[in-house]
Amino acid sequence: MEFSNRLQNLPTQFFASLVAKTSKAIAEGRDVINLGQGNPDQPTPDHIIKALQTAAADPKTHKYSPFRGIAELRQAAVAFYKREYGVDIDPDLEVAILAGTKIGLVELPLALLNPKDILLLPDPGYPDYLSGAPLADIGYELMRLDPENGYLPNYSELPESVRTQAKLMYLNYPNNPTGAIANKDFFDETVDFAKENGIAVVHDFAYGAVGYEGKKPVSFLQSEGAKEVGIEMYTLSKTYNMAGWRIGFAVGNSKMIEALNLIQDHLFAGLFPAVQLAAAEALSADQQCVDELVDLYEKRRNVLAEECSRIGWNIDAPAGSFFAWLPVPKGFTSVEFADFLLEKADISVAAGSGFGDGGEGFVRVGLLVDEARIIEAINRIEKLNLF
C-alpha cells in the first residue's frame, strides 16, 4: 500500500535527522555537548507536578474530558492574558485548548484554507510550519527575515499577486531560530497589513516569557485590532518546562478559534483533565519560577556571548528565546560547519539551512546546557583555530 500524496509531499523532518546524527555520536561513547536541541533541560516546577498528582488521584479526572477543554483551564488562560498583557479574552468564544501548539500550527491551514490559497511563512522559521501546506493541499510563500531588518518581514517586498492569494500568515517572536524580538509598532503594522489584504495572522508566542535585559516580549494581541485579524498560540512547554506534557492554547479571533475547535472536535477527544488542571495551576500560581528560569537563560546567554567574543567569534546575543543564531566561519556552509563541529569537537548544533534558505550561513545554538558546558564547548571550538 502506498502513502497518500499528502504524506509523500511532507517535508523531511529536520529535527529527526539532527537527533539521529547526535544520537549516533553519543552511542559511539563520545562526550557530545548537545547545543542543537530545543528541549528545556530544567524540570517542571514542583507545584505544577503536585497539582497533577492531586488531580490524577481524583476519579473525576478519569473520565473523558470535554472536547473543548475544561472550564478551569480556559479561565486560567483568560486570567493569564489579562494579568500579563492587559488583553481581554472571552473564555467561551476566544480560547482553544491544544495538545501542544504544534498541533494547532499544523492543523489550522486544513481548517481555514482552500487549494488555491497561499500560506505566508517566515524564512528562516520553525520547520514544522511547512507541514500544514501539503496536508491542506495548498501553496506557500516565504517571507525573508534579514538581519538588517531585525529579522522582521518587510511586507512591502511581497508582490501584489502573493498578497491577493495569501489568506494566512505565521509569525513567531521571540523568534526561533534567530532569537529576535518584535515590538508593538511592528505588530501594529501587521494588523494594518492584514486588514488591507484580507490575511489572517497566527502569532506563535512559544517563547513569550523569555526576554532579556529587562525587556518583556510583546504579545501580538496587545495591538489594537489584533483580535479582528488573528490569534496567538501559547505553549506551556517553554515557560514552565512542560515540553513533554503537550499542553498549550490559542486565543484571539473567535472565527479562527472556532475553526480550530471544530477540526479538533473531529480529530481528538480531549486531553487528560488532570494535565489540564496542572496547566491551570501553572498559569494561575505565583510566577517566580518563570522569573528564575529567565534569569538562568540570561546568565547562559551572557556566558556564551562573552566566550564567543573571547575567541574572536563575532555574534549578536539573542534578545529573546533560549536560542542564539551564530554565523558560520568562511569556507563552510551551515551543514558543513554543523557536521564539522560534531566530527571534530563533539558539539552538536542545528544547521541554519534546516530552518529555510534564509538560514544559510548560520547555526542555531540552544541555551539548554549549564554554563560549564557552554564554556567547554567554546574552548573546544577555540582549539579548531577557526577564528
Query: Per-residue pLDDT tens for 253-269?
Result: 999 999 999 999 999 98
The pTM of the full predicted model, rounded to 2 decimals, is: 0.96
Say if residue 114 is in the same domain as residue 212.
Answer: yes
| Domain CATH code at residue 269 | 3.40.640.10
Q: Give the 3-state secondary structure of residue 340.
A: helix
Question: Does residue 268 share a domain with residue 300?
Answer: no
Convert 45-64 to b/e letters by CB count within 10 Å (16 or more is b).
beebeebbeebeeeeebeee
Which of 228, 258, 284 finishes a domain? 284
Indicate whether 271 and 217 sit together in one domain: yes
Q: Which pLDDT band, with edges at 50, 70 and 90, does 318 fall under? A: very high
| Residue 196 CA, distance from chain mean position | 27
The answer on 15 and 112 residing in a single domain is: no
Confidence of residue 172 (pLDDT cuts 50, 70, 90): very high
% pLDDT > 70, the chain? 100
Overall domain count for the chain: 2
pLDDT in tens, 51-90: 999 999 999 999 999 999 999 999 999 999 999 999 999 9
| Domain assignment present for 211 | yes
Nearest to 221 by CA among 237, 201, 236: 201
The three three-digit cell numbers of residue 125, written as one number? 522559521
Q: Is residue 51 part of a domain?
A: no
Q: List pLDDT tens digits, range 190-228.
A: 999 999 999 999 999 999 999 999 999 999 999 999 999
- At 325 the pLDDT is 98
Please check whether residue 49 lies inside any domain of the structure.
no
Per-residue buried b or exposed e for 210-230, using 16+ beta carbons within 10 Å of the residue's own CB: bbbeeeebbbbbebeebbebb
Beta bridge mates, 170 = 202
Residues 32, 78 within the same domain: no
Co-location of 181 and 93 in the same domain: yes
Q: Which domain holds residue 68?
A: 58-284
Whose cell is 518546562? That residue is: 241
How far is residue 27 from each of residues 21, 22, 30, 80, 139, measured CA to CA in Å? 10, 9, 7, 43, 40
Residue 350 in grid coordinates: 542545528
